[in-house]
Structure formats: C-alpha cells, structure tokens
Structure 1
Amino acid sequence: MSGKRTWLFRIISMALPLLLILLLECGLRWFHYGNDLSLFIEYPQNKNYLFLNPDASKRYFINQKNATTGNVEPFLKAKPAGTRRIFVLGESTTIGYPYFHNGSFHRWLQYRLANTFPDQHFEIVNLALTAVNSYTVLGFARELVDYQPDAVLIYAGHNEYYGAMGVGSTEKFGGNPALVNAVLRVRSLKIMQLAANLYQKVTVLDASGKSENDGTRMQRMVAEQQIPFQSDLYKRGVEQFRANMDEILDILAEHNVPVFISNLVSNEADLKPFFSFPLKNNQFPEDFEANAVSTYNLGKQEYARGNMNSARQYFSKARDLDGLRFRAPGAFNEIIGQLVKSHSNAHLVDTHDVFEANSPGGIIGKDLILEHVHPDLKGYALMSDAFYEALKKAKFISPAPGAEMSFAQLSRDMPVPVIDSLAGVYKVANLKNSWPFNAALDRDSVKTGTFEERVAFDLAYRRISWENAMDQAYNHYIESRNYKEAREIVEALILEQPNDAALYSRSAMLSGQLGDERSALFSFQKAFSVAPSFESARYLFVLFLKKDEPEKAIPYLDYAISNNTSGLNLAPVRTLVQEVVSLRSQLPIDSADISVLSRIASAYYRMDNRDGALLYARKVLALNAHDKDALQLVNALGHSQDPATR
C-alpha cells in the first residue's frame, strides 16, 4: 500500500501543476484576456469576408510595441467558383515599402492580370509585414493552407538576421529553429501571452528609465551589429533560413499548392558596407578576402575600368563581408535555388537576373534600388514582371494570343498616383537621415510647392491617411476638370478595394468624359461582375452596340429588361438588336450585299445607335456612292459624305 500511495502522490504532484495551468488558461479565456493571434479574422464591414488579423504578428514579437500590421485586403470566406486565390508572403519589400498600396509588386501583378484576363477573377492577398523574417512566413504558411490557395508567392530573406526571432535580433528567445518554432506554435495560448506581457513589464523596469522607443524600429531590433562572415552567428542565420524555407515548401507541397519563390536583390554597386571589420596587420591583400570596405573599393575600381565581371565579384563579396546584416548574403540565393530543385511544387522567380539585365553594367545599384534593399517603382514593376513570367512558364496562366497586357503597357498605364511616388521619396529621404545610413537629408530635395508635393509630404509623415490623401487628390482633379488624373486616383482605389462596384462605375464614367470607350467598357463590365445593376447593364449594351457587337449586347439588354427600374420600353430595342444579329449572319456569305447593309444601318438608326448607323451607311456608300437612302441617313446624322472624311 505504501508503494501505491507513493505512486499516487507522484501522479497528483505531476498532474496538479498541469491542472492549475489548465484552470488559469480557461480563466484567462473566460475573461477574454490577450489577443486573438489567428491569421485571419472576420472583416467588420462585411461578415462574409476575411482579412489579415492586425494582431497576427504579435505571436512573433516579444516586445509587442515592435509588432507590425499589414494590408487590409478582404477576401470571401467561401471562395467563388472560378476564382484564382493567390497569397503573397514576405517582408518589407514584399509589402511595397516605401510606397505600399499600388507601389508593391503584387498590385502591379494584380493590375496586369485583371487587364489580360478580364473574364477571370484573381484574388491576390498580400500577407507581408515589415520587420519579420522566415519564422513569420512559416507560421503564416501553416495557416493559409486551410483557405483554398491556388498559389503562393514568396519574396523573403533580407530580414533573416534582424527580423522578429532572427539570430541577431533583440526579438528572440533562442537560436534553434525547431525550438523557436515549437514555442511560436503555443504562443496563441493566453497563458503564454500573460507570461510575455509580464516579461515585457519586468524588462521595462530593468531598463533604468531608458525609453523603449529610443531610435527607429530598425535600430531597436538590432542586438548584434557585428556578425562576421562565416562566424557561428552568421552560419546560424543561414541555417535558420534554410530550415524554415524548407519547411514552408514541405507544408505547401503536402497541400498541393504551387509556390513561386523569388531570389533576392539588393544594392551592391552604390551602397558602401554599413560595418567593416579592420584589416589584419593593416595589410591590403592581393585577393578580395579582405574587409568589406576594401573589397567594395576594389569593386569601384574595376567598375571604373569597365571590368564588370570582376567588379560584380567584388561587390558581391563586399555585401557578404558587411558586418551589419541588413542585406541577405549570396548564400540565401543559393539556398533558394537548391530548395526549388528539391520541391516539385516550387518554381523559381529569377528577379535577380531581371534586375541585373536592367542595370548598368549588369550590376544592381541605385538605378533600381532606393537605399539598401527596397526597389524603386521601376524595380517593383520589374519584380512583378518576373513573377508574371514565372506564372506563365509554369502554365498557371495562359494568356490568349493578342490579349496580353505587355510590360510596356503595364509600365505606361499602372495607376500609381504622383502623390504615392513622392511620398515614397520623402520616406526614403527620412530613412537615410537615421541609423544606419546617417546620410544628411538634402532639405532642398523635399519640395512642397505643388498640391501633390504638399499632400505627399503630409502622407509620408503620417499627418493624413492614404485614403484621405486620395480623397483630397480626387476632389482637386475633379474641380480642375483634370479627368485623366482623377481616373488614375479612382483606379488606384480600385486596386485597394477590388470589390467596390461603385469605383468601377466612377472610373467608367471618367473614361467616358475622356472619350476612352474601351476603358469605359472594361470598367462597366467589372462593375457588373461585382454587383449587377440596371444602370451598368444599360451602359454595357449601349457601348457594345456602338462597337457593332450586338451579340455581346444581348445578355446585358436581357438583364436590363428583366430588372428595369427606369420605366423605359426596351422591348423594341431587343427586337431591332435581334434583327441586326440575324442580318449580320448573312454578311459572311456576301459582304457586298447593299440590301443587307442598308437594313442594318436602318435598324441601328431606329434604335438611336448613331455610330452603328453611320458605320453601315458608309459601307453602302463605299459600294455605291449615289445610294439615296445611305446619303439621306448620313446627312440626317450630320456627317459629310466626302470620302476624305470617312
């Protein structure tokens, strides 16, 4: 009995703490302590939608004040049939810093896909955050597989050392990826959140009055400013990246999700290394196994001599030797290439090759990179093109011949307002004025003379929200009758809110003001697909008839008749349209049949389709310049019958 009692007491002594922990967890949940750290939550404005939880990043930060938030891009809980859902994972470059919104590569891609495939619906949901690394990407990947992804796009690696849980970060509690990931998986427990909050309060008390907010977030998160190349800490960062990225691809492979993962780009030609370890014995070596600055200077010399291959090697080595690791080492691109080869669901996006091909001398520098790692607008456009071409190569998308929006068209038409572009310039200027850049800000370059400059300055320094900036710009352009710029603002808002039918209709109306019927038709079709209405259907059938495409007009005409809120008698129009369709079917047999052409012209005229009537009257006159009915119709429409004006 004594032996049994001993075992009983042992079991109780082990079970009692677990029971107390369980009771504490239940109590904390009962009183709604802490945060919901799940990846997605219901969108407050529409319960049928989900969006990225603003608190999702708090799982990865010990100091919750350093936690960051991402985009608000709602998507339907129940994925509609035919929808292609694409999630985007990564860090500050992936979210589009310093432009955000339509500056990011995923928005360039979204705009191109929408215009290349107008009849298809793509949901591109960007889950990227600033100040995170592969631990966050891995955690998000574990959860997003439950939301029916058709593909995942990844660009990550530059924050590996100093992002949340990085080996050189202040935001870490261990260096072993398996241990860190195990702890992260239970951090959603309320008791873990309580422990983290208590720890944070203790560390604040131990800080002897020093403010937690000293310096930028970039500076606060760096614990190790000197990480030598090939040191133990350097190698731990490389292994951390390899282990996490490998697991990400494994998880997505288990769920048969194709992954498009990009290699990394950074400023190598025009950025002096942040920290350079002293040369040993003050000797300048003959090879480039020196310190970062001497190696970088060798690259500059070779570049000036026109020896680009040699310069590229020096610049690349200087980046790797830089002791302050705000740029991913070359080893990361090697790892990405290896992982793509070992995972059948993975596809390489060769952004690095694209950037080199568009850089002077084939060496990436200030022509595409704003400071150390963030692209300028041209760079983000090129990054989107790299992903687009990878999607094509993998046959995830198959554009119809002649229907594809070219990169040149994308570069010309992408709606990135001047205000966004200027705000990005101001943000980078401010960034370079702080650690670790410590470059003096050229005050003369920050001009605030024009309307756009003033609004952009306020946006960059967070005096106004982006939505408020766009609202100011739209009203300004409408008041000055600058409909082209007003339409660009509306199209920028559409990319931000792709499910807002009213924005599509507004864009269509502005296109009408500009005489751009092709764009008006595209926008009205989008408005109708999002929220069918009598008004959009009416505009659509009228536009298709003007374009002499009666077959395409009929579905919208039928909808307008069935949902007639205007009291218009559209039945006679429907009869005339059907007559035109029937007559047009005879033209392939004899395209020079004046009788058929005249009857089509007459039918169009009776339905008040002046463009269609004039088109066919002129076709008749081209065959018989003296046709009385055609001449009378042209004159009635107020157009000259002079062939030179046809």
Structure 2
Amino acid sequence: MKIKKDWYFKVVAGFLPIIILFLLEGGLRMIDFGNDLSLFIQDKKQPYLLHLNEKVSLRYFLQEKNATNGNIERFLKKKPQDVVRIFVQGESTAVGFPYFHNGAFPRMLDYRLHKDFPDINLELINLSMTALNSYAVYDFADEIIAQHPDAVIINAGHNEYYGALGIGSTGTLGSEITIARLGVELRKTKVGQLLSKILAAFFPDGNKTDYDHTLMERMVKKQEIPLESDLYKGGIKQYEKNLDETLAKYEKVGIRVFLTNTVCNLKDQKPFISVDGPDSLNASYCFYQADLAYKRGDKKKAKEQYMQAKELDALRFRAPKEINEITERLARKYKNVVFVDVERMFEGYASDSIIGKELMLEHLHPNLKGHFLISEALVKSFKQSSFLYANNAKQTDVEVEFKELPLTAVDSLCGEYATLLLKEGWPFNETIAPDDKKDKSLEEALAGGLAVNTIKWEVAMYKLLKAFVAKGDLSRAIKVGEAFILEYPYEYVMYEQIVNLCIDAKEYNKGIRYATRAYKLKKEPVMARQLAILYMKSDMPEKALPFLDILITANGRIDFRPMKEIAQKIVSCKKILAEEPGNVELKQEIFVLYSKIGNREAAAKYGNI
C-alpha cells in the first residue's frame, strides 16, 4: 500500500509543474497578457483579408526594442481556386531596405506579373523583415504552407551571424540550433513572453537597445569572426540545417520554391575588420591588391582578390561564398526547388563583371536597378521552369521594363538619403557633407521626410500625386497611382482613381488593365462603363459589348442601346474588312460610326478627322 502511495505522489509531483504551466498559460491568455505572435492576422477593416502580423518578429528578438516590422500586404483569407499565390521570405534586401514599399524587388515582380498576365488573379505577399535570418525562414514555413501558396521565393543568407538569433549577435542563444528553435517556440507562448520580460527587467542591457546606435550596431556581439573559426562554421551550419529542413517541408507538400543566392558589394566596399596575420590572410591587404590589379587592367585577378577580401572581412555582414554554395547545392537536391542565380545576373550588368556601386548602395543592399535585376532573375527562372510563363516566352528588354516601373524621384532620393544616414554610423563612420541647398523640390522634401520618418508614405505619395495632377503631368501621376495599387491591391477606390487618370492621359491599355482588376473586385456599373469606354476607344468594340449589355440591364439614367448598336455594326464591318483590307467604303463607314459617338481616337485609324 505504501509503495502505491509513493508511486502516486511521484506521478503527481512529476505532472504538477506541467499543470501549473498550463494553468499559468491559460490565466495569462484570459487577461490578454503579451502578444499574439501568429504569422498572419485578420485585417481589422477588411475581415475577409489576412496580412503579416507586425509583431511576429518578437519570436526571435531577445531584446524586444530591437524587433523589426515587415510590410502589411493583404491577401484573401480563403483562397479561391483561380488565385495564384506567391509568398516571399527574406531579410532586409527582400523587404526593400532602404526604399521599402515599391522599391523592393517583390513589388517590382508583382507589377511585372500583373502586366504580363492581366487576366489572372495574382497575390504576391512579401513576408521579409530586416535582421531576420534562416531561423525565421524555417519557422514561417508551416504557417505559409497552411495558406496554400503556389510558389515561395526565398532570398536570404546575409544575416546568419548578426541577424536575430545569429551566432555572433546580441540575441544569440548559442550554437545549438535545437535550443534556438525551442526558444522561438517558447516565445510564442504567454508563459515564454512573461519569462522574457522578467529576464529583461533583471538583466537590462542598454547598449543592445540604445537608439543612438543603428540596428546594425545594436545587433553585433562578436565583431571579429575569422574565416574558418568555430563561430564562422556555426553560422554556416545554422544556415544549411535551417534551409535544408525548410525546403524539405515545402517538397513534402509539393510547393514550388524559387531559391536565390546572395549578392554584395565587392569592388567599392573596403573590408570592415582585418584580422592580424600574414598578408595573404589580411582582408585590407587583399582589397589593396585587388585595386592595384583592377587599375592595371587585370580584371580576373582583381575579382579574385576582391572576393578574397570579402571572405576575410571578420565583421560578417556580407555572406561568405560558402552560403551561396550551400544555396545552390540544396536547390539541386530538391526537385521542387528552382535555383535563381541572382549573382550571375548582377555580374552580367556590373562593370567588368565585378559587383560594385553601380548596383549597390553600400555593403550589401541593391539600388533600384539592382532590385529590378533580382526581379528579372526571377522572371527568367519562371520562364525556364514554365511557371506562369511558357518556356519559350520572349526575352525581357531590361531598360524598357525598368523605366515602366511605378517608381518616382521620391523613391530614389529616399534611398539615397537613408543610405547617407546609415553610413554616418558604425561601421562606416562616414561624415555627411553639409547641404547648402536652401530651396528643395517637392520630391526632395518628401524623400527627406520619409528617410527620417517624419512623414508617412501614404501622405507623401498623395502630396506627390496631387502636385502632378495640378501640373497636368498625367504620366507621372499615373505612376503614383500604380504605386498606391501595389500598396493596396484590394482597395477599390485606388483603381477608380487610376482608371480616370488613364482615360484622361489616353493610356487606354493601362486603363483596361486596372479597370479589369477593379471590376473583379467589385462589379459596379460605373466600372463596367469605364471598360466599355476604354475598349471602344481602343478599337475593340467586340470586348466592349458584354459591358454595354451590363449597363443596359442596369437600366441607369443613360441609355446605352444606341452605343451597343454602333458597336455591333463596327464589329460586323471589321469582320468583312479583315477579308477585304483594301475596302475604302468599309473604312469610311467605321470612321463615321466612331465619329457619331465622339470617339476620335478610334475613328482616326480609319480616316481623316
């Protein structure tokens, strides 16, 4: 009997801590303590949409004040069968630092895909955040899978040492990957968040959260991580294990992955820290030799030495080449993974195939042209793997496509100013030259405000739009309108605005593209009317007819039956004209029909006005 009692008490004693933890977790949930750290949360204004949880990075930052935010990009809670959904996972490059918004390659890719495939329903959602790394890539995977993506893009590798939980960072949990992952799981619970707050209260570290220092500086614990040291190898091991197991998850459920390698500034970024030793192992010496080789025209030797200087740089902000080698090897390992060679794309557009300041802002973040090239590398991979595109799809005219992007001077200036501010701090420590310019343009003023966070992006873009419209600069106003749609693809009012601008600017093809997307969002008669007008002005009466039928059925104040009759007659005439291209009388008849409804643009194709 005594033995049974002892056994009973041992069982109770063993389960008691677990019971207490469950009760504590339940109590903390009841009083709404801490944060919901789910990857996705419901949009407050549009409950049928989800978006990235702004607080999700708290899973990874031991010092909460260092936690970063991503973009709020909304997508349908319930995915329809006809929607193509793509998620992007990555770090500061993928989130678009220092441009953010439409300066990021995922937005450029989104714009290009919608332009190339105007009839498909596409959602491209960027989940990237500054200072995250492969731990987040791994951790996000299950929740991404639950949203049924058609593809996932992964662009990572630079933050394995100094990103959140990075082995050389202030937020490291050590070299044991399992312990770091358990730490992440614990912080998802209310008990874990309580424990974190208690530890932060008893062991504060002001240097890790001092906003007088940049996030770069606050995140670095080990400034020197020599090549092939234990810490160096730990970062490599961390990246390989996290990425390998992430790709295995996606392969198991048959999700296609486009996996990119990393790029960084080789030619125009001196090493930050050189470790004492022989010249061949000194980063600064190798960089010096590279400069000499480049000046004397030995570009091959220069490239080798620039690469070696980067590899030997002990302050490991730039991913070592071993990271790229692992990326490519793992891409080849899985049948569902497509390797995207961004590095090769950059080398193809860099002077002497050595990546430098013509494509990079500082040590590792691309400029706007660089971001476009990442999107181009992805489009090329889509074509080669027959994802969305046919394998034989025509090649891109890079310069033309880049100019068509909805980018403004505010975007480029904001990136320039933010880069200057970044390089003023550690480890660059470059003094900002005094600005003697008294009268700043509107673009300069808005970009400056964005760079120092004194104005919101939406406010800046609205002021820019208003100024362009007032000056009658409709082409640039349309670019701002397109920028708003990339930011708010489910906001109907944004489409109304740009469709009107396109009609006024006589950019009818673009107007059709956005009016079609608007009509899919909300089947309003006013947008059916816009589509009818746009198709008639574009000499496509056969496509205008269904919308004229909708307007006639709606029985509004305007009688669209006469326009439908004219459209039907033009369709009939065009069918005959296709067989008799020299029939002048038919051309004249079409000219007269279009002129009756005041459609001068379409009429001009068939005669003189």
TM-score band, normalised by the shorter chain? over 0.9
Equivalent position of 1:19 in the other structure = 19
Do the aligned residues in 1 keep the contact of 2:256 with 2:336 (CA within 8 Å)?
A: yes
Equivalent position of 1:193 in the other structure = 193
Equivalent position of 2:293 in the other structure = 302
- Tell me which structure has the larger Cα radius of gyration: 1
- Aligned partners of 1:210, 1:535: CA distance in 2, in Å? 55
Aligned counterpart for 1:439 among listed residues 430, 435, 451:
430
Deviations for 1:406-425, whole angstroms, at most 9, x for unmatched residues? 43322111111111211110
Do the aligned residues in 1 keep the contact of 2:282 with 2:309 (CA within 8 Å)?
A: yes
Kindly state the Cα deviation for residue 527 of structure 1 after the two structures are TM-superposed. Answer: 2.5
Kindly state the Cα deviation for residue 569 of structure 1 after the two structures are TM-superposed. Answer: 1.4
- Aligned partners of 1:515, 1:405: CA distance in 2, in Å? 25
Range moving further from structure 2, 371-380 or 577-586: 577-586
Evaluate the alpha carbon distance shift between residue 367 and residue 609 of structure 1 in structure 2; reply closer, same or farther with a 3 A threshold.
Answer: closer
Range moving further from structure 2, 381-390 or 185-194: 185-194
Kindly state the Cα deviation for residue 23 of structure 1 after the two structures are TM-superposed. Answer: 1.1
Kindly state the Cα deviation for residue 40 of structure 1 after the two structures are TM-superposed. Answer: 0.3
Kindly state the Cα deviation for residue 15 of structure 1 after the two structures are TM-superposed. Answer: 1.4
1:123 aligned counterpart, secondary structure: strand
Do the aligned residues in 1 keep the contact of 2:89 with 2:128 (CA within 8 Å)?
A: yes
Do the aligned residues in 2 keep the contact of 1:49 with 1:76 (CA within 8 Å)?
A: yes
Evaluate the alpha carbon distance shift between residue 447 and residue 378 of structure 1 in structure 2; reply closer, same or farther with a 3 A threshold.
Answer: farther
Aligned counterpart for 1:553 among listed residues 544, 548, 553:
544
- Aligned partners of 1:37, 1:506: CA distance in 2, in Å? 36
Equivalent position of 1:527 in the other structure = 518
Aligned counterpart for 1:570 among listed residues 560, 564, 569:
560
Equivalent position of 1:343 in the other structure = 334
Equivalent position of 1:107 in the other structure = 107
Kindly state the Cα deviation for residue 214 of structure 1 after the two structures are TM-superposed. Answer: 4.9
Equivalent position of 1:622 in the other structure = none
Equivalent position of 2:412 in the other structure = 421
Deviations for 1:195-227, whole angstroms, at most 9, x for unmatched residues? 1111111112xx599974452221111110011
Equivalent position of 1:627 in the other structure = none
Matches within 5 A, 1:394-405: 394-398=385-389
Evaluate the alpha carbon distance shift between residue 613 and residue 463 of structure 1 in structure 2; reply closer, same or farther with a 3 A threshold.
Answer: closer
Do the aligned residues in 2 keep the contact of 1:493 with 1:503 (CA within 8 Å)?
A: yes
Deviations for 1:558-590, whole angstroms, at most 9, x for unmatched residues? 12222243x111223223322332343333444
- Aligned partners of 1:136, 1:371: CA distance in 2, in Å? 25
1:78 aligned counterpart, secondary structure: coil
Alignment partner of 1:250 is 2:248: yes
- Aligned partners of 2:404, 2:580: CA distance in 1, in Å? 41
- Aligned partners of 1:451, 1:183: CA distance in 2, in Å? 47
Matches within 5 A, 1:208-357: 212-280=210-278, 284=279, 288=280, 290-357=281-348
Equivalent position of 1:410 in the other structure = 401
Equivalent position of 2:121 in the other structure = 121
Evaluate the alpha carbon distance shift between residue 245 and residue 614 of structure 1 in structure 2; reply closer, same or farther with a 3 A threshold.
Answer: closer
Equivalent position of 2:138 in the other structure = 138
Equivalent position of 1:630 in the other structure = none
Do the aligned residues in 2 keep the contact of 1:261 with 1:346 (CA within 8 Å)?
A: yes
Matches within 5 A, 1:56-75: 56-75=56-75
Do the aligned residues in 2 keep the contact of 1:214 with 1:220 (CA within 8 Å)?
A: no
Equivalent position of 1:157 in the other structure = 157
Evaluate the alpha carbon distance shift between residue 550 and residue 210 of structure 1 in structure 2; reply closer, same or farther with a 3 A threshold.
Answer: closer
- Aligned partners of 2:332, 2:393: CA distance in 1, in Å? 33
Evaluate the alpha carbon distance shift between residue 609 and residue 470 of structure 1 in structure 2; reply closer, same or farther with a 3 A threshold.
Answer: closer
Alignment partner of 1:369 is 2:360: yes
Gaps of 5+ in 1: 619-633, 640-646
Do the aligned residues in 2 keep the contact of 1:111 with 1:495 (CA within 8 Å)?
A: yes
- Aligned partners of 2:60, 2:243: CA distance in 1, in Å? 17
Equivalent position of 1:644 in the other structure = none
- Aligned partners of 2:591, 2:470: CA distance in 1, in Å? 40
Evaluate the alpha carbon distance shift between residue 293 and residue 555 of structure 1 in structure 2; reply closer, same or farther with a 3 A threshold.
Answer: same
Kindly state the Cα deviation for residue 598 of structure 1 after the two structures are TM-superposed. Answer: 5.2
Matches within 5 A, 1:462-541: 462-541=453-532
- Aligned partners of 2:168, 2:363: CA distance in 1, in Å? 18
Kindly state the Cα deviation for residue 279 of structure 1 after the two structures are TM-superposed. Answer: 2.3
Evaluate the alpha carbon distance shift between residue 79 and residue 404 of structure 1 in structure 2; reply closer, same or farther with a 3 A threshold.
Answer: farther
1:118 aligned counterpart, secondary structure: coil
Matches within 5 A, 1:169-184: 169-184=169-184
Evaluate the alpha carbon distance shift between residue 402 and residue 13 of structure 1 in structure 2; reply closer, same or farther with a 3 A threshold.
Answer: closer
Amino acid at match of 1:114: H
Kindly state the Cα deviation for residue 546 of structure 1 after the two structures are TM-superposed. Answer: 3.0
Range moving further from structure 2, 176-185 or 131-140: 176-185
So what's the TM-score if we normalise by structure 1?
A: 0.90
Evaluate the alpha carbon distance shift between residue 594 and residue 400 of structure 1 in structure 2; reply closer, same or farther with a 3 A threshold.
Answer: farther
Evaluate the alpha carbon distance shift between residue 168 and residue 539 of structure 1 in structure 2; reply closer, same or farther with a 3 A threshold.
Answer: same
- Aligned partners of 1:269, 1:549: CA distance in 2, in Å? 52
Range moving further from structure 2, 579-588 or 45-54: 579-588
Amino acid at match of 2:155: Y
Evaluate the alpha carbon distance shift between residue 337 and residue 478 of structure 1 in structure 2; reply closer, same or farther with a 3 A threshold.
Answer: same
Evaluate the alpha carbon distance shift between residue 4 and residue 138 of structure 1 in structure 2; reply closer, same or farther with a 3 A threshold.
Answer: same
So what's the TM-score if we normalise by structure 2?
A: 0.95
Kindly state the Cα deviation for residue 491 of structure 1 after the two structures are TM-superposed. Answer: 1.4
Amino acid at match of 1:257: I
1:108 aligned counterpart, secondary structure: helix
- Aligned partners of 1:180, 1:31: CA distance in 2, in Å? 28
Do the aligned residues in 2 keep the contact of 1:116 with 1:399 (CA within 8 Å)?
A: no
Evaluate the alpha carbon distance shift between residue 587 and residue 214 of structure 1 in structure 2; reply closer, same or farther with a 3 A threshold.
Answer: closer
1:186 aligned counterpart, secondary structure: helix
- Aligned partners of 2:583, 2:270: CA distance in 1, in Å? 75
Do the aligned residues in 2 keep the contact of 1:448 with 1:454 (CA within 8 Å)?
A: no
Kindly state the Cα deviation for residue 337 of structure 1 after the two structures are TM-superposed. Answer: 0.9
Kindly state the Cα deviation for residue 602 of structure 1 after the two structures are TM-superposed. Answer: 4.7
Kindly state the Cα deviation for residue 73 of structure 1 after the two structures are TM-superposed. Answer: 0.6
**How many residue pairs align between the two structures?**
609
Do the aligned residues in 1 keep the contact of 2:208 with 2:219 (CA within 8 Å)?
A: no
Gaps of 5+ in 2: none
Do the aligned residues in 2 keep the contact of 1:511 with 1:519 (CA within 8 Å)?
A: yes
Evaluate the alpha carbon distance shift between residue 506 and residue 248 of structure 1 in structure 2; reply closer, same or farther with a 3 A threshold.
Answer: same
Amino acid at match of 2:570: V
Do the aligned residues in 1 keep the contact of 2:37 with 2:56 (CA within 8 Å)?
A: yes
Equivalent position of 1:631 in the other structure = none
- Aligned partners of 2:178, 2:590: CA distance in 1, in Å? 74
Do the aligned residues in 2 keep the contact of 1:116 with 1:403 (CA within 8 Å)?
A: no
Deviations for 1:58-114, whole angstroms, at most 9, x for unmatched residues? 011111111111001110111123211000000000100010011100111111111
- Aligned partners of 1:539, 1:405: CA distance in 2, in Å? 31
- Aligned partners of 1:551, 1:46: CA distance in 2, in Å? 36
Kindly state the Cα deviation for residue 141 of structure 1 after the two structures are TM-superposed. Answer: 1.5
1:423 aligned counterpart, secondary structure: helix
Do the aligned residues in 2 keep the contact of 1:117 with 1:399 (CA within 8 Å)?
A: no
Evaluate the alpha carbon distance shift between residue 400 and residue 547 of structure 1 in structure 2; reply closer, same or farther with a 3 A threshold.
Answer: farther
Amino acid at match of 2:124: I
